[in-house]
Amino acid sequence: MANSQTDLRANSLVSTIEAILYLKGQPLSLAEIADCAGCARDLAHEALLDLMNDYAQRDTALEVVELRKGCYTLQLRDRFQSLVERLIPADLGVAALRTLAVIALKGPLPMADLVDLRGSGAYQHVQELVERDFVKKRRYGRSSMVQVSEKFHRYFQLDVENQNSAQLELALNQLRSSLPPDEDAAEDPEDLEDPEDLDRDSVDPDLD
């Protein structure tokens, strides 16, 4: 019974670390992963090895790898890199594209939740994505709710009525994992405008 409980905890930690790598969308050090997972570094390292081995045995488009800098990332396998040019709008920044991927997979979601996932730079990303008509934004209490637009689905050739389809998840996983770290993302919240002042006229009050 004790061994069974230990295995369950270990499997749960592996899944947690997989979620962390996916949501962060950029290489993370072992210390960062352990901190996000709320566990000791040795346990995080063991779980990472299990996760890497699991992905190595899967026939999927993604893999978990350790980079030379001692960081770990969830990324697109090399043989799928030819998809990048077709999937990624060339004139959108890396950080905005990562935010777009999160909105597509998690939305509709409150702006506050998006900021929790993507950091304070998400305010600027959403403004840019709304201006490009990839994202819709509507009032949600004192904040906003965001979701992808019909243009997004047309661009990625996805079914607008089936946002949670396997096709959408694969496309957005490919998008997120193929991008380099979003070094252009804003780090300091004080460098940003108040989110309630961002592009008030672009909010769609009729968004469902």
**8 A C-beta contact, residue 73 and residue 43:** no
Q: Would you give the distance in Å from CA 125 to the centre of its chain? A: 13
CATH architecture of the region 86-202: Orthogonal Bundle (1.10)
Q: What's residue 113's pLDDT? A: 93
Where do the structural domains in the chain lie, given as residue ranges?
A: 2-76, 86-202
Rounded to two decimals, what is the model's pTM? 0.46
pLDDT in tens, the chain (208 residues): 444 445 556 678 999 999 998 887 778 999 999 999 999 999 999 999 999 999 999 888 888 999 877 899 888 787 776 666 566 666 677 788 888 888 888 888 999 999 998 899 999 999 999 998 889 998 888 889 999 888 887 776 555 455 444 555 555 655 555 555 554 443 333 333 333 333 333 444 445 4
**8 A C-beta contact, residue 109 and residue 146:** yes
Is there a common fold for 2-76 and 86-202? yes
DSSP state of 161: T
Q: What's residue 195's pLDDT? A: 36
Q: For the chain, how far is it from start to end, CA to CA, in angstroms?
A: 49
The CATH code belonging to domain 2-76 is 1.10.10.10
Q: Minimal CA–CA distance to 163: which of 121, 207, 101? A: 101
**8 A C-beta contact, residue 129 and residue 203:** no
* Pairing outcome for strands 71-76 and 135-140: unpaired
